[in-house]
Structure 1
Amino acid sequence: MINTTDSTNSSDKNPYLGSLTVLTSLFFIWGFITCLNDILIPHLKAVFTLNYTEAMLVQFCFFTAYFVVSVPSGYLVEKIDYKGGIIAGLSIAGIGCLLFYPAASSHSYPLFLAAFFVLASGITLLQVAANPYVTILGKPETASSRLTMTQAFNSLGTTIAPYFGALFILATAVKTADEIQLLNTDELSTYQAAQAAAVQIPYLLLAAVLFLIAIVFVLIKLPKIEATEEQVSGGADDVHDSAWGYKHLVLGAIGIFVYVGGEVSIGSFLINFLGEPAIAGLAEQEAGKYVSFYWGGAMVGRFIGAAVMQKIQPGKALTFNAVTAALLVLMTMFGSGQVAMWTLLAVGLFNSIMFPTIFSLAVSGLGKHTGQGSGILCAAIVGGAILPVVQGLFADRIGIQQAFFIPVLCYCYIAYYGWRGHRV
């Protein structure tokens, strides 16, 4: 059983509202940072003249951190509690942002990849601490709705980030390798300095924000959460010695793997896809602004979903959204022009409830194993590292448009999980 005690105002009719409000800021900031990857990928692809597979190493390094760091983060949170985990996560993410400064100055792609890994390690620790925290702060039957609502503010960050990134990071046009060779020494130095500054300034600002939020969390009080040995759900915990024994959790971890992989794959290729002559032929900066529609759809869908799932079973809503998303991506694969463009952007609306719904369904009934289950689910976010690289391999061989069959397969599995796989 999970006990919560709020030392600040236990007599309040809604004692966790203040805590949930503060936690919502975390969902916003890590959504903002994660979505900036979609802007940096085409920028770094052009600056370092990379192919699609090499460019997807950004997502590989970023989301590999979830696999490497999630389980240790779970143990760390048990030692220093959820508040300590949040503070540590913010600090590590801030250090990761600072590493973008030397990476841009030295024009080093490997150092960029290292910075992405450190940044994602901090965000991983934040997720391991914050996601289960939100599901516990309130009634169990509304956990999916509550987590969907906080994730809506995560989507607010992902909606704003592409426009912000397009204005600052993609503002300076990237020259081709042939154009760079024509520059003299002074021109080359000026060009490289401009490209470096385009990345350095936004990430220095993000580092300052992260450290500031960490200080805020040091100063405020949050409800203390402790896992006890008491059993829940009619003694269900006696059945298994660890979270791995619960089939619906394991299937949920696969669901998180394919969901994040599919969502990130689409977002990572959007700018290049919208730049295709047969689709929209947009310049990078203009295409970057359209990415906001993809993530903005997820934000709108989460606000709607938080209300709808007060009335409709989460599993049914998950199945409907997954089937619709799969159909939209298929229309993108076999369409062209505005149809292919908008059907792909519309997928974001139906992605909206998937992560919080899969997460809350997967940890349902775990009792004292909830912390371990959260670590397993966050580790499964490594799908965002692997599937974009796989899609990149196919994009280099069969074309960027046909490579979207990868997300289609992902959504088919998610539909199965919502229909049957989540049952305890």
Structure 2
Amino acid sequence: MTKKTGIYAVALVTSLFFLWGIALNLNSILVPHLKIACQLTDFQSAFVDSAFYLAYFVVAIPAGLLIHKYGYKKGIVFGLLVFAIGAFLFYPAAGSRTYAFFLFALFIMASGCGTLETAANPYINNLGDPAGATFRINLAQSFNGVAATIAPLIGGLFILSDKALTKVQIAALTPQQLQHESDAVKIPYIVIGLLVLSIAALIWRTDLPDIKEHNANDDVRVTWGSVFKERNLMLGVGGIFFYVGAQAAITSFFIRFSNYSAAITDKDAAAMLSLAMGGFMAGRFIGSVAMRFISPVKILITYCIINCLLLALAFTLHGRMAVYAIMGVPFFMSIMFPTVFSLSIRGLGEKTKKGSSLLIMGIVGGAVIPLVLGRVSDATSIRVAYLVPIICFAYILYFALTNIRVKNIEQVAGH
């Protein structure tokens, strides 16, 4: 493979990080939009996140087996095709205005994303000179951060309404108005599906190197029983569960919280969420630099405490000040996933692969915590419900404190 071909291959694979970042971060738009279009409670609307993250949990192992048998390139193309099918299913789902159909489409699309993520992270790490692996994976992950920043803007522009509707106004919408709301997702997701198919075609026609990294002796001596006995690893699985759950809940209900606390319109709230996710992306870069001078564990402890305080402030304050407090949370979430992940696999040796698989499965927290927040919101208010993520950050704080003696760790890419 020539240098020019290698750069082209890296660019194509890097585009995958952007694609699944768009799909994932559009959930924060779908939650409030489908709540109106399908006349849902907060608890019911939270199943948007559940469908998406449950797919990641379900496909993690099958995707790994698929890629092991057929190679990275075929695995990536398969993931893109499934991704596109899920995106196209939004058209009939919107036409029927059936929430279960929307969730099915999301599950299929997320299954494609999960397959892509399983393949792309290790593939780009090995696609080229080993000395440049860290640069390539961080460059690719930066495009995931760009997607997190612009997805709310795209969704707000093409999907959301200009008005902040009250419960009474939503209940009074006519079937025609509800159908109009539902139809708003058709064109954006058709465009996404076509874009994904075009990338699939480019990758299929590109002569990507077939990287073989499996060793017949890998993990032969490692039993799952011995992996489950690793206390720090199992605490880390809980940390990933609560982190991803908190991230999904906070971002997905942000627009709803903004409506409730300050009567901010959906479009304006989407723009504010985009700004907050820009802080998340900036936090990744700033945190990476800070960790060269300060212990990552101490930064993790500090960020957990700050996020608990910000969420408490959001409960205490009123109007836009409460919304601004929530906007600050993503910045301090930025380093949590890679730091918790790295701390959890530290010192596992030959158990690392199986330990990493358990940690990835912990992402299912994104399917659970939003449901809890939605249920609390229905029973009380969205303001009270935003206290739920405090429990998540408190657990991560506990995990960090158990690792207080760790000075330096190897950072990994993450959500």
Computed over aligned residues only, the root mean square deviation of the Cα atoms, in angstroms, reads: 3.1
Specify which of 293, 299, 320 is matched with residue 302 of structure 2: 320
SS of the aligned residue for 1:66 comes to helix
| Contact 2:306-2:332 at 8 Å conserved across structures | yes
Q: Which amino acid aligns with 1:227?
A: H
Using the alignment, how far apart are the partners of 1:195 and 1:241 within structure 2?
A: 51
| Contact 1:322-1:414 at 8 Å conserved across structures | yes
User: Could you say which residue in structure 2 is the equivalent of 1:184?
Assistant: none
Write out per-residue CA displacement over residues 172-212 of structure 1, whole angstroms, 9 at most, x where no aligned residue: 7686332417xxxxxx3xx4553343101000011111112
Specify which of 68, 71, 76 is matched with residue 78 of structure 1: 68
User: Could you say which residue in structure 2 is the equivalent of 1:267?
Assistant: 251
User: Could you say which residue in structure 1 is the equivalent of 2:120?
Assistant: 130
Give me the identity figure in percent: 38
Q: Which amino acid aligns with 2:238?
A: I
Using the alignment, how far apart are the partners of 2:8 and 2:290 within structure 1?
A: 24
Using the alignment, how far apart are the partners of 2:239 and 2:136 within structure 1?
A: 20
Count residues in correspondence. Answer: 398
Give 1:42 shift. 0.9
Using the alignment, how far apart are the partners of 1:162 and 1:397 within structure 2?
A: 28
Using the alignment, how far apart are the partners of 1:225 and 1:128 within structure 2?
A: 15
Specify which of 99, 109, 112 is matched with residue 102 of structure 2: 112
Specify which of 295, 299, 319 is matched with residue 337 of structure 1: 319
Q: Which amino acid aligns with 1:258?
A: F
Write out per-residue CA displacement over residues 274-307 of structure 1, whole angstroms, 9 at most, x where no aligned residue: 112xx32112222122111221111111122233
| Contact 1:315-1:418 at 8 Å conserved across structures | yes
| Contact 1:135-1:360 at 8 Å conserved across structures | no
Residue 178 of structure 1 pairs with residue 175 of structure 2? no
Give 1:39 shift. 0.7
Write out per-residue CA displacement over residues 94-149 of structure 1, whole angstroms, 9 at most, x where no aligned residue: 11101101000111111001011111111111222233446667879x96x87565
1:241 to 1:139, Cα distance in 2 relative to 1, 3 A: farther
| Contact 1:63-1:385 at 8 Å conserved across structures | yes
Specify which of 35, 38, 43 is matched with residue 33 of structure 2: 43
1:152 to 1:318, Cα distance in 2 relative to 1, 3 A: farther
Using the alignment, how far apart are the partners of 2:340 and 2:122 within structure 1?
A: 13
User: Could you say which residue in structure 2 is the equivalent of 1:258?
Assistant: 242
Give 1:239 shift. 7.6
Q: Which amino acid aligns with 1:26?
A: L
Q: Could you state the TM-score of these two structures normalised by the residue count of structure 2?
A: 0.85
Once the two structures are overlaid, the 10-residue window that deviates more, 221-230 or 193-202, is 221-230
User: Could you say which residue in structure 2 is the equivalent of 1:392?
Assistant: 374
Give 1:259 shift. 0.5
Q: Which amino acid aligns with 1:116?
A: L
Give 1:16 shift. 8.6
Once the two structures are overlaid, the 10-residue window that deviates more, 155-164 or 354-363, is 354-363
Specify which of 202, 205, 208 is matched with residue 221 of structure 1: 208
User: Could you say which residue in structure 2 is the equivalent of 1:185?
Assistant: none
Matches within 5 A, 1:140-179: 150-171=140-161, 176-179=170-173
Give 1:46 shift. 0.9
User: Could you say which residue in structure 2 is the equivalent of 1:4?
Assistant: none
| Contact 2:37-2:97 at 8 Å conserved across structures | no
Using the alignment, how far apart are the partners of 1:26 and 1:413 within structure 2?
A: 32
User: Could you say which residue in structure 2 is the equivalent of 1:69?
Assistant: 59
Using the alignment, how far apart are the partners of 2:125 and 2:26 within structure 1?
A: 27
1:211 to 1:309, Cα distance in 2 relative to 1, 3 A: farther
Once the two structures are overlaid, the 10-residue window that deviates more, 57-66 or 387-396, is 57-66
Give 1:17 shift. 7.6
Residue 55 of structure 1 pairs with residue 39 of structure 2? no
Give 1:81 shift. 3.0
| Contact 2:162-2:265 at 8 Å conserved across structures | no
| Contact 2:33-2:181 at 8 Å conserved across structures | no
Gap regions ≥5 residues in structure 1 = 1-6, 182-187, 232-236
Once the two structures are overlaid, the 10-residue window that deviates more, 310-319 or 172-181, is 172-181
Give 1:60 shift. 1.4
Give 1:320 shift. 2.6
Residue 404 of structure 1 pairs with residue 348 of structure 2? no
Q: Could you state the TM-score of these two structures normalised by the residue count of structure 1?
A: 0.83
Give 1:389 shift. 0.3
| Contact 2:60-2:115 at 8 Å conserved across structures | yes
1:153 to 1:78, Cα distance in 2 relative to 1, 3 A: same
Give 1:154 shift. 1.3
User: Could you say which residue in structure 2 is the equivalent of 1:28?
Assistant: 18
Q: Which amino acid aligns with 2:170?
A: T
Write out per-residue CA displacement over residues 376-423 of structure 1, whole angstroms, 9 at most, x where no aligned residue: 222211111100001111111121112122211111222233343596
Gap regions ≥5 residues in structure 2 = 410-415
Using the alignment, how far apart are the partners of 1:327 and 1:60 within structure 2?
A: 27
SS of the aligned residue for 2:213 comes to strand
Write out per-residue CA displacement over residues 37-89 of structure 1, whole angstroms, 9 at most, x where no aligned residue: 11111111111211111111111111111222212222222222333332222
User: Could you say which residue in structure 1 is the equivalent of 2:267?
Assistant: 285
Write out per-residue CA displacement over residues 17-49 of structure 1, whole angstroms, 9 at most, x where no aligned residue: 876554432222211111111111111111121
1:126 to 1:239, Cα distance in 2 relative to 1, 3 A: same
User: Could you say which residue in structure 1 is the equivalent of 2:196?
Assistant: 210
1:196 to 1:337, Cα distance in 2 relative to 1, 3 A: closer
